[in-house]
Amino acid sequence: HHVQLQSEALKEWKQHIEPKKNDIESIKKDIVSHTLETLCRNPYNLDKMAVYQATAHAVRDRLLEDWNLTQEAIHQQNPKRCYYLSMEFLIGRALDNALHCLEVKDAYKQSVKDLGFSLEDLLEQERDAALGNGGLGRLAACYMDAAATLDYPTWGYGLRYQYGIFKQIINNEGYQTEVPDYWLNADGNPWEFPRSDIKYEVQFYGYVATKVNEKGESRMSWEGGDKVQAMAYDVPIPGYDTKGCGNIRLWSAKSLKTFDFASFNDGDYDRSVADQKNAENLTSVLYPNDNHNVGKELRLKQEYFFVSASLQDIIYRFKHTNAAWKEFPDKVAVQLNDTHPTLAIPELQRILVDIEGLEWDDAWDIVTRVFAFTNHTVLPEALECWSVPMMEKILPRHMQIVYDINLFFLQKFEKVFQNDRGLLNRVSIIEESNPQQVRMAYLAVVGSHTVNGVAALHSELIKTELFSEFIKYYGPEKFINITNGITPRRWLYQANPALRELITETLGSKKWVTHLDELKNLKKYAEDKSFQKKWIDVKLQNKTRLADWIKTHLDISVDPHALFDIQVKRIHEYKRQFMNILSVIYRYKNIQLLSAEERKELTPRVVIFGGKSAPGYYIAKMVIKLITTVAQVVNNDDSIDNLLKVVYIPDYNVSLAEIIVPASDISQHISTAGTEASGTSNMKFVLNGGLILGTVDGANIEIRDEIGEENIFMFGTLSDKVADIRHHQKYHGVPMDPNLQVVLHAIQAGEFGGFETASVFGPLINTLTYGGDYYLISADFEQYLDAHDKVDALFKDKTTWAKKSILCTAGMGFFSADRATREYADKIWNLKPFTIEKK
Ligand code: 9GP
pLDDT in tens, 23-43: 999 999 999 999 999 999 998
Cα distance between residue 711 and residue 803, in whole Å: 9
Report pLDDT digits (tens) over 598-614: 999 999 999 999 999 99
pLDDT at 563: 98
pLDDT grade, residue 45 (50/70/90)? confident
Report pLDDT digits (tens) over 469-484: 999 999 999 999 999 9
Cα distance between residue 460 and residue 720, in whole Å: 11
> Is the minimum distance from the CB of 88 to ligand 1 under 6 angstroms?
no
Cα distance between residue 656 and residue 624, in whole Å: 18
Closest protein CA for atom 8 of ligand 1: 136
Which phi and psi angles does 203 have, rounded to 5°?
-100, 150
Q: Domain 78-93+128-483+825-829: which CATH class?
A: alpha beta
pLDDT grade, residue 691 (50/70/90)? very high
pLDDT grade, residue 587 (50/70/90)? very high
> Is the minimum distance from the CB of 679 to ligand 1 under 6 angstroms?
yes
Q: How far is CA 770 from the centre of its chain?
A: 34
680 is a catalytic site residue: yes
pLDDT at 270: 79
Residue 1 has pLDDT above 80, yes or no: no
786 C-alpha to center of ligand 1: Å?
28
pLDDT at 266: 83
Task: Check if the beta carbon of residue 681 is closer than 8 Å to that of residue 661.
Answer: yes
393 is a catalytic site residue: no
3-state secondary structure of 422: helix
Cα distance between residue 190 and residue 64, in whole Å: 12
Average pLDDT over residues 581-594: 98
Substitution site in 88, 342, 373, 376 for ligand 1 pocket (most atoms within 8 Å of beta carbon): 376
Substitution site in 86, 136, 335, 568 for ligand 1 pocket (most atoms within 8 Å of beta carbon): 136
Closest protein CA for atom 15 of ligand 1: 291
Report pLDDT digits (tens) over 616-652: 999 999 999 999 999 999 999 999 999 999 999 999 9
Domain boundaries, the chain: 21-77+103-126, 78-93+128-483+825-829, 488-815
The DSSP letter of residue 656 is H
- Write down the architecture of domain 488-815 according to CATH: 3-Layer(aba) Sandwich (3.40)
Active-site choice (93, 167, 376, 398): 376
The DSSP code sequence of 111-124 is HHHHTT--HHHHHT
Cα distance between residue 514 and residue 500, in whole Å: 13
570 C-alpha to center of ligand 1: Å?
11
Substitution site in 491, 571, 678 for ligand 1 pocket (most atoms within 8 Å of beta carbon): 678
First-last CA distance in the chain:
34
> Is the minimum distance from the CB of 604 to ligand 1 under 6 angstroms?
no
Higher pLDDT, 264 or 74: 74
Task: Check if the beta carbon of residue 648 is closer than 8 Å to that of residue 627.
Answer: yes
38 C-alpha to center of ligand 1: Å?
40
669 is a catalytic site residue: no
Average confidence score pLDDT of the chain = 97
Atom of ligand 1 nearest to the CA of 379: 16
377 C-alpha to center of ligand 1: Å?
6
684 is a catalytic site residue: yes
155 C-alpha to center of ligand 1: Å?
21
Structural element, H or E, at residue 9: helix 8-14
Substitution site in 165, 291, 342, 458 for ligand 1 pocket (most atoms within 8 Å of beta carbon): 291
Cα distance between residue 182 and residue 196, in whole Å: 22
Report pLDDT digits (tens) over 160-185: 999 999 999 999 999 999 999 999 98
Substitution site in 451, 454, 685, 815 for ligand 1 pocket (most atoms within 8 Å of beta carbon): 454
> Is the minimum distance from the CB of 680 to ligand 1 under 6 angstroms?
yes
Residue 418 has pLDDT above 80, yes or no: yes
Residue 273 has pLDDT above 90, yes or no: no
Cα distance between residue 235 and residue 192, in whole Å: 5
pLDDT grade, residue 2 (50/70/90)? low
pLDDT at 214: 84
Please name every residue paired with 218 in a beta bridge, in sequence order, or none if there are none: 212
Task: Check if the beta carbon of residue 702 is closer than 8 Å to that of residue 677.
Answer: no
Cα distance between residue 211 and residue 592, in whole Å: 80
Active-site choice (569, 572, 587, 621): 569
Q: Which residues lie closer than 8 Å to 723 by C-beta, 6 or more apart?
A: none
pLDDT at 638: 97
Residue 4 has pLDDT above 80, yes or no: no
Residue 233 has pLDDT above 80, yes or no: yes
pLDDT at 679: 98
376 C-alpha to center of ligand 1: Å?
5
Task: Check if the beta carbon of residue 549 is closer than 8 Å to that of residue 663.
Answer: no
| Equal fold, 78-93+128-483+825-829 vs 488-815 | yes
Q: Which residues lie closer than 8 Å to 187 by C-beta, 6 or more apart?
A: 49, 53
Print burial letters for 780-800: b (CB count within 10 Å at least 16), e (below 16).
Answer: bbeebbebbeebbebbeeeee
Structural element, H or E, at residue 374: strand 371-374
> Is the minimum distance from the CB of 35 to ligand 1 under 6 angstroms?
no
Atom of ligand 1 nearest to the CA of 671: 4
Report pLDDT digits (tens) over 696-709: 999 999 999 999 99
Task: Check if the beta carbon of residue 91 is closer than 8 Å to that of residue 131.
Answer: yes
Residue 495 has pLDDT above 60, yes or no: yes
pLDDT at 145: 98
Average pLDDT over residues 408-422: 96
551 is a catalytic site residue: no
86 C-alpha to center of ligand 1: Å?
13
> Is the minimum distance from the CB of 486 to ligand 1 under 6 angstroms?
no
The alpha carbons of the chain give a radius of gyration, in whole angstroms, of 28
Peptide bond into 329 cis (omega under 30): no
> Is the minimum distance from the CB of 139 to ligand 1 under 6 angstroms?
yes
Average pLDDT over residues 552-569: 98
Atom of ligand 1 nearest to the CA of 377: 16
C-alpha to C-alpha distances, 299 to 283, 296, 376, 699, nearest whole angstrom: 10, 5, 19, 30
pLDDT at 264: 79
pLDDT at 260: 77
Active-site choice (570, 612, 625, 669): 570
Cα distance between residue 612 and residue 167, in whole Å: 9
Please name every residue paired with 227 in a beta bridge, in sequence order, or none if there are none: 203
* Torsion on CA atoms 337, 339, 345, 350, rounded to nearest 10: -120
Structural element, H or E, at residue 231: strand 226-238
Average pLDDT over residues 411-419: 96
